[in-house]
Amino acid sequence: MGNDFSKMEINLRQVAEQESSSFEGVFELPVNKEGLLKADVRVKTVVTSMSNRYLLAADVECDLHGTCSRCLEDCVSKISAEFEIMFQREENVRGFSGPTEGDFVLLSSEEESCYDISPMVKESLLLSIPMKILCAEDCKGLCPICGANLNIEECGCERDEIDPRWAPLNELLNDENK
């Protein structure tokens, strides 16, 4: 994913008590070795200033452009995610008796004036991508015999063939029904 998207920077020094902002961008998300998914991303953030800390809450919405796993048609899938980050000014950590450094992000003075949230947005999106992208929940897919898209047309192929490995179980069911 590298540098193929714009930064989503927040100036934490200029945050009032509670301030909201929004970002839009296009990410290319690596899915597997074969390809990338294009994602139109919308991010809404609310940053709350609390003396020497900042709480950032973000809602991420995304239109994911890909290929349906059942019918192989191009489709757009909507996904959403959210995350929160607690920032702590680095100079105020010494002698701090609260949570450990693992509970929040330490900010240098440079990061406080320009903090890029795009890595967290990317991570939340990658964790929200479904295993299989579908054009619709009720997508019928392709006919396993002739390959016709069953969402568009019924092909007429007989798909009632029973796998020969399961035939003995079918015989048992037929014997019980007699």
Q: Read off the pLDDT of residues 89-108 as tens digits, 9 standing for 90 and up.
A: 776 555 444 444 456 777 77
pLDDT classification of 122: cutoffs 50, 70, 90? confident
Euclidean distance between CA atoms 148 and 154, whole angstroms: 8
Nearest partner of 51 among 99, 100, 86, 11, judged by Cα? 86
For residue 3, pLDDT over 50 is answered with: no
For residue 120, what is the enclosing H or E element?
Answer: helix 118-128
Structure tokens at 41: 């991303």
Mean pLDDT over 69-80 rounds to 91
Burial class (CB in 10 A: 0-12, 13-18, 19+), 60: buried
Euclidean distance between CA atoms 97 and 124, whole angstroms: 30
For residue 57, pLDDT over 80 is answered with: yes
pLDDT classification of 5: cutoffs 50, 70, 90? low
Residue 146 DSSP label: T
**Segment 12-28, tens digit of pLDDT:** 777 766 666 777 777 66
CB 8 within 8 A of CB 23: yes
Three-state DSSP at 113 gives helix
Structure tokens at 60: 């991420």
| SS percent in the chain: helix, strand, coil, step 5 | 20, 40, 40
pTM: 0.67
* Most confident stretch, 86-95, 100-109, 116-125, 167-176: 116-125
Distances (CA, A) of 166 to 143, 160, 171, 172, 174: 21, 13, 9, 10, 13
